[in-house]
Structure 1
Amino acid sequence: MTDVTFGIETFGDLPLHDSGEPMSHAASLRQVVEEAALADQIGIDAVALGEHHRADFAISSPEMVLAAIASRTEHVTLGSAVTVLSSDDPVRVFQRFSTLDAVSGGRAEVILGRGSFTESFPLFGFDLADYEVLFEEKIELFSRLLTERPVTWEGTTRAALLNADVYPKTDSGSLTTWVGVGGSPQSVIRTAHYGFRLMLAIIGGAPERFAPYVDLYRRATEQLGTTAHPVGMHSHGFIAATDEEAREAYFPGYKAMRDRIGAERGWPPMSRADYDGEIDHGSLYVGAPATVAAKMAAAITAVDAGRFDLVYTGGGAMPASARMTAVELFGTQVIPRVKELLAQGGTR
């Protein structure tokens, strides 16, 4: 298994200036562009940006930031992580990403999702009671738009289309489409039904527990007559010169983020023991390059993944310079070591 690709992901968490003050949303967006430009220079394969509509994350329009990144890069694939299709318009999503594909020279991809955060629903006038039907109808429409032929469609969540042709078309006639899945078998089967790529959000617990979802995806595509693409996985992490430095630098921001989200969802506060346990036995990739590479290779092997995306920002409370260093270490030291380990069978 040596053909695995690697990406970085961020939601636009607000980093710190050297003075210790949090960056503004505008400065944070510019920082993301700089990090993506560095990723391109050092050979990282992909950059993916999340969509949020809340104070602690700067990126609400991934495509706009990705277009800025396209002007500074030549090689990296540019995608969302995720586009909340349920509270968006499939026609506009296709148009935005086909436009990004054009200006980037064919490097755009989209990861669709229902959204683990729900702030976009009231913001754009959608009822959370329609959570399921919104995604079901909109992903079905989006799959038709991907044919790049005139579409006739009728549903309950937006106006009907009659022989509607949507522009711009892509040069290749195809826009790479993933679906982000957090562990629902129904979501895995839906992804297989449309022949989309599967991106597993593995953000807690042992990664091998997701292996059955990969098997389900492959069996479903076989039975449905669609294509089983290489499966992707994404997890949080941070890289520094030593294990201790990485753990200490990442903990404050990561805990703050998890506790904010946990308060909204009824989770208990994260303890230091919880944090260390997730690094030692779960799906948090924090440490020196060799440590992270060994754990990452083992996880890729366990899941049989063809792509690994590292969510390298963890809730802010970290200097921008440390984030740049983490990206550099990931591209120059972790990825080459992971590839070596995978060639040896995924072991040390």
Structure 2
Amino acid sequence: MTDIEFGLDTFGGVTRDAGGDPVAHPQVIRDVVEQAVLADSVGLDFFGVGEHHRPDFAVSSPEMVLAAIASRTERIRLGSAVTVLSSDDPVRVFERFATLDAVSNGRAEIVAGRGSFIESFPLFGFDLRQYEELFEERLDLLSQLLKERPVTWQGSTRAPLENQRVFPRTAGGLPTWVGVGGSPDSVVRTARYNFGLFLAIIGGPATRFAPYIDLFDRAQDQYGVEPKPVAVHSPGLVAETDEEARAITHDGWLAMRTRLGEERGWAPPAVGDFEREIEGGALYIGSPETVARKIVTTLNTLRVNRFDFKYDQNGVSHDAMLQSIGLYGEKVVPMVKDMLG
């Protein structure tokens, strides 16, 4: 278990300045680059950038941000978290990530998903009634393109390809994952296409995801494919003390949870929900020792190859995120490795 990788994910959420006002999108994007540079310097393994098309997130083109990060980092692997494949074109996705792979000297990864928001569908002219069909066909085409051989393909949601090659070629291929929120069908489909499984654990205890990892293993055996890695992604923030970490994140978590509830028809958060998610759910918020112990509990429960920490919490300042990244890389990860060893 000491070979487990430790990464960071960000959605490029809009941060707050010292006066509590929202930071402008251009500065948020520049700050994400700085955060990734710090992540590289403290020895973390992966940095993922999400794709969104709404005002509370600054990043709509992860590959552009990742290319800027690649120019200022040396070893950290770079990927999306996630690329919204349903409303994108797999040919362009491959071309952009193959270009990123060249710029980063072989450090690019794709994490494809349907996304947790739907703004990209009307923005790019896609029908939400084709939600499942779009993702299935695009994932199928992407799987063919990643073989880097001439592709002949036909579907109902884009033009067919006839013996078509795409460029640039990569030096060693593009590691590809599928982001899954907890659907058994999605887990089996990921195994069928022989991609890595990236589980988004954003609420409730991690233990409830153990059956999905077992299902992934069984499905890979059934399809007779090479075993692929499993990663988990959960939100959190590290500060010097538990009290400081909770104080920094509480109001932003409550505001985001309330806003998403209004958008999606969820019940509003109840008193104590924030604390319950920290104590026994998916929030990794606290001092380095508190967060390290919770990660160890998760890793002793779930057989995974990578743990990704979604460090950008709603409304938190850039400076607080930098502190969190530094503590995660320099204190939390060494503690976790010692405990696992």
TM category, shorter: over 0.9
Partner Cα separation in structure 1 for residue 155 and residue 81 of structure 2: 26
Structure 1 stretches of at least 4 aligned residues deviating more than 4 Å after TM superposition: none
The TM-score, its normalising length taken from structure 1, stands at: 0.97
Partner Cα separation in structure 2 for residue 102 and residue 217 of structure 1: 31
Partner Cα separation in structure 2 for residue 246 and residue 318 of structure 1: 10
After TM superposition, list the pairs within 5 Å mapping 1:79-228 onto structure 2.
Answer: 79-172=79-172, 174-228=173-227
Q: Structure 1, residues 63-114: CA drift from partner, whole Å, max 9, x if none?
A: 0000000011001100000001000000000000000000000000010001
**Which residue does the alignment assign to 1:252?**
251
Say how many residue pairs are matched: 341
DSSP 3-state at the match of 1:31: helix
Partner Cα separation in structure 1 for residue 255 and residue 271 of structure 2: 12
Partner Cα separation in structure 2 for residue 68 and residue 260 of structure 1: 31
**Which residue does the alignment assign to 1:24?**
24
**Which residue does the alignment assign to 1:325?**
323
Partner Cα separation in structure 1 for residue 257 and residue 109 of structure 2: 28
**Which residue does the alignment assign to 2:239?**
240
Tell me the amino acid that sits aligned with residue 239 of structure 1: V
Shift of 1:131: 0.3
Partner Cα separation in structure 1 for residue 340 and residue 183 of structure 2: 28
Tell me the amino acid that sits aligned with residue 256 of structure 1: A
Shift of 1:227: 1.9
Q: Structure 1, residues 28-81: CA drift from partner, whole Å, max 9, x if none?
A: 000000000000001011100111000000010000000000011001100000
Structure 1 residues 272 and 26: CA distance shift in structure 2, 3 A: farther
DSSP 3-state at the match of 1:6: strand
Q: Which runs of 5+ in 2 are unaligned?
A: none
Partner Cα separation in structure 2 for residue 255 and residue 306 of structure 1: 31
**Which residue does the alignment assign to 1:64?**
64
Find out whether 1:4 has 2:37 as its counterpart. no
DSSP 3-state at the match of 2:272: helix
**Which residue does the alignment assign to 1:43?**
43
Equivalent pair of 1:257/1:314 in contact (CA under 8 Å): no
DSSP 3-state at the match of 1:48: strand
Shift of 1:194: 1.0
Partner Cα separation in structure 2 for residue 244 and residue 236 of structure 1: 17
Partner Cα separation in structure 2 for residue 82 and residue 246 of structure 1: 26
Partner Cα separation in structure 2 for residue 166 and residue 312 of structure 1: 35
* Percentage of pairs with the same residue: 57
The TM-score, its normalising length taken from structure 2, stands at: 0.99
Shift of 1:20: 2.8
Equivalent pair of 1:42/1:328 in contact (CA under 8 Å): yes
Q: Structure 1, residues 203-258: CA drift from partner, whole Å, max 9, x if none?
A: 01110110010011011101101122221000000100000110111111122112
DSSP 3-state at the match of 1:109: strand
After TM superposition, list the pairs within 5 Å mapping 1:279-318 onto structure 2.
Answer: 279-315=278-314, 317-318=315-316
**Which residue does the alignment assign to 1:346?**
none
Shift of 1:272: 4.4
Q: Which runs of 5+ in 1 are unaligned?
A: 344-348
